Amino acid sequence: MSAKSGDAWDKLRDLIEAAKEPSSTLSQTLRTASPAEVAEILETTFQITGRDMAELMSDLELIADRNSLNWWSPIH
């Protein structure tokens, strides 16, 4: 995880915490709003940009690769 992606993970954590609030309609809005509306909410409210999303996806791909059978392992 790079320093940049660490910032993105912090922003994502803030988003998740806000969506978990019982009085929040954020979770429902993120599930039902249009992609443009969701992007606007992410950028304006949580400062999560497309670049942040790319960093998160890159980290998740790396995690998935390392957990796959295709990853080098000393056991093989």
Domain-wise residue ranges, the chain: 3-66
Is the Cβ–Cβ distance between 43 and 54 less than 8 Å? Answer: no
The band of 8, judged by pLDDT with boundaries at 50, 70 and 90, is very high
User: What is the arithmetic mean of pLDDT over 14-22?
Assistant: 92
The structure's pTM equals: 0.71
Contacts 24+ apart (CB under 8 A), 49-53: 52/7, 52/8, 52/11, 52/12, 53/8
Closest CA to 49 of 20, 7, 2, 13: 7
Instruction: Assess whether pLDDT exceeds 80 at residue 3.
Output: no
